[in-house]
Structure 1
């Protein structure tokens, strides 16, 4: 999440001091959009894989995934 917030929110903060009626605003806006998209491209696969691993772990703990315990006759 820290990487996603840096790549998605910090570029948009650079738009605050710029007047929206100027061409510099649109240039900064385009650069911020590209940085956000590139950040999403790099962060999203890791986020999805982390969710998949956590889901698999929770399902295997809950259902056992067909594991059978041996009886220990004493």
Structure 2
């Protein structure tokens, strides 16, 4: 898929500039055959952070202070 960046030893990541809710972000990833990032190490967390920092706030449309990850508590709190 276009827009994905390879982080050697970690995999491919993509940053979407269009603001979405967590559910919309999850659905977008599903439609692209992927999933929301789930950082399992400091290196993966740094990869996600570096993608976010590449995009100045003025380029983003909504949720400019948030990065949605694959963690959730939907089955506990709903």
TM-score, length-scaled by structure 1: 0.28
Q: Report 1 or 2 for greater relative contact order, CA contacts < 8 Å, sequence distance ≥ 6.
A: 2
Q: Which has the higher helix share?
A: 1
Q: Which has the higher strand share?
A: 2
TM-score, length-scaled by structure 2: 0.27
* Rg (Cα) greater in structure: 1
